Structure formats: C-alpha cells, structure tokens
Chains A and B, each alone.
Chain A
Amino acid sequence: DAGVTQSPTHLIKTRGQHVTLRCSPISGHKSVSWYQQVLGQGPQFIFQYYEKEERGRGNFPDRFSARQFPNYSSELNVNALLLGDSALYLCASSPTRGGRYYGYTFGSGTRLTVV
C-alpha cells in the first residue's frame, strides 16, 4: 500500500519566483494537511483540507495557498518566494472517524531552497 507521496523531493528556486508542491494521500484518506519545517524546529501548520474544503489555515501570509482535488490529492502554492521560505514542506494525510482525525502519516517531504 503506497504511503503519502510528495513531489518533487528537492527544489531550488530564486527569490520572487513561484512554486507548486504536490501531494497524494494514502488511499482512503480524505484529509490532507501541509506543514513547514525549518531546521531545528517542529513542523508548523499551514493548511488543512477535508473533502476538498479548507478546514484550517495556520499563521502564514497570503502568498501561501492550497487546494484539494476530487481524488483527494493536493497542491501547495507559494508566490513571491522569500529566502525565509526555505524549508522542508511536509504533507500529511489522516483517516477520520466521527469528526476526529487519527494517526497523521507524513510524506517524505519536499526540500525547498530559495536563493
């Protein structure tokens, strides 16, 4: 059974550019969320989607946006890249039962470097 898959694995972009990161959840998981992890810190919540609707947004600027597709895959877009956006971007999917989220599984992440 495939886990959470993310693409690309590594990316180098220039300041001011735009980037799109992609994620496919575990089969059967309808919830997808995105996190940013900078070195030495725990992951920080960016977005959560469930059944193609945004269910939560973290404290990130409007340059960050996301969406979820009918097949539950998701993409994260970041516009006008800054050096500070350099980080590991993680996607996680979770089964849900009775409105509760269980056992988030993370993908291997996309390492974004902004130069």
Chain B
Amino acid sequence: QKEVEQNSGPLSVPEGAIASLNCTYSDRVSQSFFWYRQYSGKSPELIMSIYSNGDKEDGRFTAQLNKASQYVSLLIRDSQPSDSATYLCAVTGGSQGNLIFGKGTKLSVKP
C-alpha cells in the first residue's frame, strides 16, 4: 500500500514566522512531488512542484526533496493570515501517474 504521511496539525505560527510542513512517502519509485493548498470548502490549489533532490524556491515558498530519506517539506517564509489553510502533500504513484495524497496539515497563522 503506497502511503503519504503528514502531521495533521493543527500547526499554529505567528504572523511573520516561518511555517515548516513535512511529508514522508513510502513508494521509492515516486517521481513527482507536489504541495497543494486547500481553503475550507474549496478545491486544492497547486502551489509547488518538485521533481529532483534539493530545494526549489518560489516567492515565499520553498520545497525541499530528499529521495534517499523519502521526505518532502514545504517552508513558508513571512507567514500571513491568508496562508491559513490545509496543506496537502501529494506524490505520483509510479507508472500510472495518479496522485497519492496525505491527509493534510492544517496551518493557522495568528495575527
């Protein structure tokens, strides 16, 4: 059974702080890794994708991938109250290419 594990939270950080979200996955052949943001009652929105080991930065977001440890993380710098949402980690499931999601981490940024 291919699995993606996330800490469900809630993770609470003060405004302006760095939020760190973590994810581990079980399938070593996973090739593509994604972070989605989902506001309550809305559909997931893609915020970061990463395909090779190392860091990838996009604005206030940095995704980190370590395939040897089967670990993906998302850092959100200068957190804003508008970042309060559930963050879903997803990996592709081998040759099928479908996404396998974690249960999500709920982030709360306090003003």
Contacts and interface: CB of A to CB of B under 8 A. Distances in A.
B69 interface: no
Interface in A78-106: 88, 90, 92, 94, 96, 100-106
A101 B93 CA distance: 11
A96 to B, nearest CB: 8
Nearest to A47: B98
A94 B32 CA distance: 13
B44 interface: yes
Where chain A touches its partner, the secondary structure class is: strand
Nearest to A35: B99
Interface string B68-111: 00000000000000000000101011001111111110000000
Contact of A102 (B42, B49, B104): B49
Interface string B26-41: 0000011010100000
A43 B100 CA distance: 8
Given A42-B88, A103-B49, A88 B97 contact: no
B38 to A, nearest CB: 9
Given A43-B44, A106-B43, A106-B44, A55 B103 contact: no
18 contacts: A35-B101, A41-B103, A42-B4, A42-B103, A42-B104, A43-B99, A45-B98, A50-B97, A55-B96, A56-B98, A58-B98, A88-B43, A103-B34, A104-B90, A106-B45, A106-B46, A107-B43, A108-B43
Interface of B: 4, 31-32, 34, 36, 42-46, 49, 88, 90, 92-93, 96-104
Given A42-B88, A42-B103, A55-B97, 9 more contacts: A31-B97, A35-B101, A42-B4, A42-B104, A44-B101, A55-B96, A56-B97, A100-B32, A104-B34
Interface of A: 31, 33, 35, 40-45, 48, 50, 55-56, 58, 88, 90, 92, 94, 96, 100-109
